[in-house]
Amino acid sequence: MSVPSYCQYAKSPKHIDRQGAALQTPLYNIKIVLLGLALLSGLSFSVQANNILVIHSYHNEHFWTGYLKQGLDNAFKDDADTRLFHEYMDAKRYPKSPFKLSFLDYLNTKYANTNLDVIVISDDPAFNLIREHREQFFNAVPIVYLGINRVSDEVINTPNMTGVFENRDIAGTIVSIKQQTGIDELILIVDQTSTGLANLAKAKMVIGQPEAPKKIHIIEELIEDNIPDTFSHFNSNIPVLLIGQLTSPRNNNALLSWNQGTEQLVTWTNNPVYTIAITTLEYGAVGADELDGRQHATRAAGLVKRILAGEALANIPPITTAKSQWIYNWEKLREHNYSLESLPSDARIINKEETFYEKYKLMVRIVASAFIASIFIIILLMEVIRRGSITRHLLAENESRYRDLAKAGANIFWETDPGQRFSYVSGDTQTLFGIPEQRLMGHTISELCRTNPNMNFPWLSYEKAIAYQQPLSNLVFKLKMPSKDIKIFLLNGKPIFDKNKTYLGYRGISKEITEEHLLTKKLAYQAAYDSLTGLINRSSFNEQLKSYVQQHQDPHLDAYLCFLDLDRFKLVNDTAGHLIGDAMLAEVATVISQCISKQDIIGRLGGDEFGLILVNKSLAEAQALCEDIIAQVKDYRFVWNQRMFNVGISIGMVPVTGSLNETELLSKADLSCYKAKEEGRGRVYIANLDNDDLFDEEQQMGYIANVAQAIEQQQFYLVKQVISSLDTGNNKQHYEILIRYRDDQGKTVPPSLFIPAAEKHSVITIIDQWVLETVFERYHQYFPDGDTVVSINLSGISLSNDEFVSSVINLVKNSSVNPKNICFEITETVAISQLSRALDFMREMKALGIKFALDDFGSGASSFTYLKSLPVDYLKIDGSLIVNIVSEPTDRAIVESINAIAHMMNMKTVAEFVENQAIQAVLEEIGVDYVQGYGIGKPKPCEPNL
C-alpha cells in the first residue's frame, strides 16, 4: 500500500514544471528509491518474524531449566527473525501451589496480541496444565514439548503437538550402582512431584529383577531435619540414589535444590550418594547419571525449526528415547574405595589427578619422536626438560607460598625468619600496626604489639605454638580504633621447612573478620531461636531438656515436661491464611510465656506445638500452671479485618525422671497431649509413666508408623483359620483370612496390638488393600483346589474410601478367582454406622457374585431391624455369646434366637470362639451351620514356609 503513495508523491502538481514535465534530478530519484526499499524491508521483517513462547515448569534458577533455556537460545541465536519469550511456572519449589490458573490467565493476557508461531513447553507440570486447558489457550498454535517423563500413546497421538521425551532409564541407573558398588542394597529418595513420581515408577520396574539390588528402601518426601534419624537405621556403606528432592520445613516445606539436598545428605550421612544431576558432584555426590539438558533442548529446537520451515506437524514424530551418561567425582570414588574397572565404559570422571603421562603427553611424544630422528634433538630436549624442572621448582615454591597465603582474602601476607622477625610483609599494615610495611622488617610481632593497650591478643596461645613450631590456627584478636570502634582480626600461620627439614620461620596471613564475626553471632542466634515467636527452637529445646535430665537427678526437685498443641488452629490458617495464622501464633506464644516463671523453659517445637519444662514445682503447682495456660489461651481473642478468632490448647504432662532420656520423655509427653485431645481437648492430661495404656498407645503407633515400608519388607503375612460346616454332607472348604505382623526382631505381633492403631490413624485402608491384592494374586497358590471359600475382613474406613471401593471392583473383575468363592466380612457396628455406604458397596459386590458375612453380631446393641435390610449371606455370632454357652442358659437362648431369625432370613450362621467339643455339641443341637475357633482349628500360615 505504501509504494503507490510514493509514486503519487513523485508526481504531485507542485513538482511539475511549467511545461508539465516532472523533475528528473538523479538525487531526488535515488532518495525515493531508498525510502521505498527501506519501507519494504521493514514490512518484510515484520511479516517474517517468528514468535516462540517457551513455558518452563520450574523457576529460572533451577539448573535443569537453565540448561534447557541455554540449549534453546543457542539453537536460535543466529536466526535474527526468531524471537523467544521465556515464562516460568515455578512448580518445582511450589508443586501444590494454587496459582496455576492465575499463571494461565497471565499468559493469555500477556500474549493475546502476539502472533505466536510455536509454543514450547518444558516438563510435565506446565505441559499437563496446558493440555488440560488446551481449548482456551491458543488451541491453533502447534506445541513442541520436552522434558516429559512418561512415554504414552495418549501424549504421542495428541493432535497438533510433538516433542522430545525425557524418558530417563532409572532402572538402568540402579543396576549400574549395584555393579559399581557391589552392594546388594539401595536407598532410593523420591518426592511427590510429577517428575519424582515418574522416576519412582521407572525405578519400581527393576524391583525383583536378578540384576537389581535385593533390597531397595524407598524414602518418600525426606525432610532435611529428619536425615540423621532416617539414616540411623541403615549401614553407612549402602548407596543412596537421589531421584527426587528433599523438603525444607523452614521454607513452608518447599523443595530444596538438588545441590542443597545432596549437600545435606553428604553432611549428615556417610553413605555414598548418587544423583541424576551433574551439578551435585560439586556438593559431594559420588556420581550422576546425567541427561544433558542443553542437548535435550537442542533436539526439541530441531523439531521447532521443521515446523517453522512449513513441514506438516503430522510428519514430525516425537523423539521418545533419551541417553544419559555417567559422570563421577574422582575424589569421592577414592574416598569410598571404588575401582575404576567397575564403572561403565563410557563414564566420564571429573577432578581426576592426571598422571605424568597425561599431563605431559605431548612432550613425551615429541621426545620419543625426536629420539628416533636424532640424538642431537634428544640432548636439546633434555636441556629443555632440565631448565623446565628448575622453572617448575621455582613455580612450585611460589605456588606453595601463595596457596598458603591467599586463603579467604587476607589483609596482610607475612613471613618471618627463625627468630620470628618479619622478613616479608605485603598488604594493609597501616590499620593493624600503624606503620608502613617497610618499617616492619626485622621486628617481631611481640615488639610491635605487646605494649599496645588497645590490642587484646592471645599471647599465651601464640607463644605456645611458636615454642613447639606448631601451626597458628585461627588466633582471633581485637583492636580498639581511634574512632572507638572495635575491629576483629584473624591470624593464621604455618611453620616452613626446607627439604632438609631445617626450620626457616613462619608464613601466614592476617585479615579483618569484624563482619564475619558479627554474622557468626547472628547465625548462632538464628540457629537456636524460632524466628516467628522468639522462643528457642526444637533443636535448642531438646538440648536444654537433655542437659536438664542429665544434671537434675535430685528426686526432691520435682520437674515436669509439658507438650502443648493448639486446638482449632488449622481453622484459622484455612480461613484467614498462613500470614494471619503466623501473627496469631506469635501472640499465643506471648500469652503462654506470660504464664510461666523465669526458671521455666519454653520452646516452639514446630507448627502449633510448644514444649515446656516446669522447674522446681510440685504436681499440684504444675497442674495449676497448665490449667492457667489453658484458661488464658481460651480467653485470648485475635482480631483481624473485623473478624475475631480464638483457639484452645491441649497439654500433655509427664514427670521428668532419671529413668527416661529426653527423647523418651518428649515422646511420652506427645502421647499424653494426644490423650488430652482424645478426652475432649482444652485440658491437661497428666501421664503416669507406668501407665500401660500410654505404653500400648506408643507401641501401637510404632507398629503402624510406616505401613508401606513394613509391607515392602514383608513384615506382614497372612494366616488362614478353618470355618467348619456342621452339615456332614457339606464338604466344601471355608477359611477366614487373618493378618499377622513381625516386628524388627522377628517376633509375631497379634492384630489386637496394631489393627486398632491402624484404624485410629487411618492407615488401615493400606493394609486392607494389601490383603485383598495378596489373596487374589495368590489364591490358587494358597488353595490349589480352586474351589475354597475365603472370608476377608474389611474395615469401615476402607468402605468409606471411594478410591478403595473402585480398586476392589477392578480387582474382582480382572481376577481369575471365582467371585462366588470370596466372602467379605464387615462388622455389625460398621454396617449400621455407615448403612448407606455399606448397602451400596454390598449391592455392587453381590452383583459380581461376592458373598458377605456380618461379623461380631451380638457384641453390641444388635438390631434385627438393620439386619433385615442388609443383604448378607452369613451371620457370625460373636464369641462372647459362645464361650459360656454350655453353662449359661441365657447365652444359649440368645444364640438360639439369633440362629432362628437368621435362618428365617435365608442366612447361614457361624459361631465363633468354639474352644471344645462340648460347645460344638450344643451348637449342633441349636442347628448352627458353621463353627470356628481353636477347638476346630488354629490359624496356620497361608504359605507353608512361614
The three grid cell numbers given for residue 736, joined into one nine-digit string: 477366614
What H or E segment, with its residue span, contains residue 742?
strand 734-742
Torsion, CA 225, CA 227, CA 228, CA 233, rounded to 10: 140
Tell me the three cell numbers of residue 765: 485402608
Task: Quote the pLDDT of residue 42.
Answer: 45
Element (H, E) at 463: helix 459-467
Average pLDDT over residues 340-359: 77
State residue 580's pLDDT score: 84
The mean pLDDT of 400-417, rounded to a whole number, is 66
What are 255-273's pLDDT values in tens digits? 888 899 999 999 999 999 9
What DSSP element (H or E) covers 606? strand 601-606
**CB-based contacts of 795: which residues, under 8 Å, 6+ apart?**
759, 764, 765, 768, 830
Q: Give the burial class of 906: count Cβ atoms within 10 A of its Cβ; 0-12 exposed, 13-18 middle, 19 or more buried.
A: exposed
Q: How confident is the model at residue 757 (pLDDT cuts 50, 70, 90)?
A: low
Handedness of CA 264, 265, 270, 275 (dihedral sign): negative
Q: Where is mean pLDDT largest: 1-15, 429-443, 879-893?
A: 879-893
Q: CB-based contacts of 23: which residues, under 8 Å, 6+ apart?
A: 15, 16, 17
* Element holding 334 (H helix, E strand): helix 330-335
Tell me if 823 sits within 8 A of 791, measured CB to CB.
yes
- Non-local (6+) Cβ contacts of 204 within 8 A are none
How far apart CA 921 and CA 902 sit, in angstroms, is 20
For 756, counting Cβ atoms within 10 Å of its Cβ (0-12 exposed, 13-18 middle, 19+ buried), the class is middle
Specify whether the CB–CB gap between 90 and 60 falls below 8 A.
no
pLDDT 10s digits, 789-813:
999 998 877 887 888 889 999 999 9
Question: For 30, left (φ over 0), alpha (ψ -120 to 50), or beta?
Answer: alpha
- Residue 597 sits at φ, ψ, to 5 deg, of -90, 170
In the predicted structure, residue 29 carries a pLDDT above the cut 80? no
CA dist 102 and 120 (Å) reads: 19
Host H or E run for residue 409: none
Across the beta sheet with 412-416, the strand order is 422-427, 412-416, 503-512, 486-497, 472-480, 455-456
CA-CA distance, 634 to 770, in Å (whole number)?
44
CA 679 to each of CA 652, 684, 799: distance values in angstroms, whole numbers, following the listed order: 12, 10, 27
What is the DSSP secondary-structure string of 510-577? EEE-HHHHHHHHHHHHHHHB-TTT-SB-HHHHHHHHHHHHHH---TTS-EEEEEEEEESHHHHHHHH-
Cα–Cα dist 230/264, whole Å:
13
CA distance 557 to 467: 50
Per-residue cell: 849:
457374585
pLDDT tier, 390 (very low <50, low <70, confident <90, very high otherwise)? confident
Cα–Cα distance measured from residue 122 to residue 164, given in angstroms and rounded to the nearest whole number? 10
Q: Give the CA dihedral 93, 96, 97, 100, nearest 10 degrees.
A: 100
CB of 87 closer than 8 Å to CB of 54: yes
- Give the residue with greater pLDDT, 552 vs 837: 837
Tell me what the mean pLDDT of segment 703-732 comes to. 80
pLDDT in tens, 603-661: 999 888 999 999 888 888 999 999 999 999 999 988 877 788 888 999 999 988 777 78
Whole-number pLDDT of residue 893: 93
Average pLDDT for 97-125: 90
* 3-class secondary structure, 273: strand
Q: Quick check: 65 and 56 in contact, CB under 8 A?
A: yes
Amino acid occupying residue 432: L
Could you tell me the pTM of the whole model?
Answer: 0.38
Residue 431 clears pLDDT 80, i.e. is over it: no
- In angstroms, rounded to a whole number, what is the distance separating the alpha carbons of residues 535 and 531? 8
pLDDT for 192: 86
3-state secondary structure of 613: strand
What is the average pLDDT across 553-576?
Answer: 79
204 vs 710: CA distance, rounded Å: 17
pLDDT of residue 376: 75
Cell reading at 182? 557391589
What is the residue whose three cell numbers read 575491629? 487
- Please count the other Cβ atoms lying within 10 Å of the Cβ belonging to residue 494: 15
Q: Which pLDDT value is given to residue 183?
A: 93
d(CA 569, CA 228): 30
Q: Is the dihedral of CA 288, 294, 299, 304 positive or negative?
A: positive
Residues 239-250 have pLDDT tens digits of: 999 999 999 887
Q: Are 252 and 270 in contact (CB under 8 A)?
A: no
CB 28 within 8 A of CB 257: no
78 to 295, 299, 365: CA distances (angstroms): 17, 17, 40
Average pLDDT, integer, range 308-322: 88
Strands 82-88 and 50-56: parallel
Q: Which of 144-148, 529-533, 938-942 is predicted with the least confidence, judged by mean pLDDT?
A: 529-533
Q: What percent of the chain has pLDDT over 90?
A: 36
Q: DSSP class of residue 238? A: S
Rounded to the nearest integer, the mean pLDDT of the chain is 83
Residues 6+ apart with CB under 8 A from 549: 656, 658, 660, 661, 662, 665
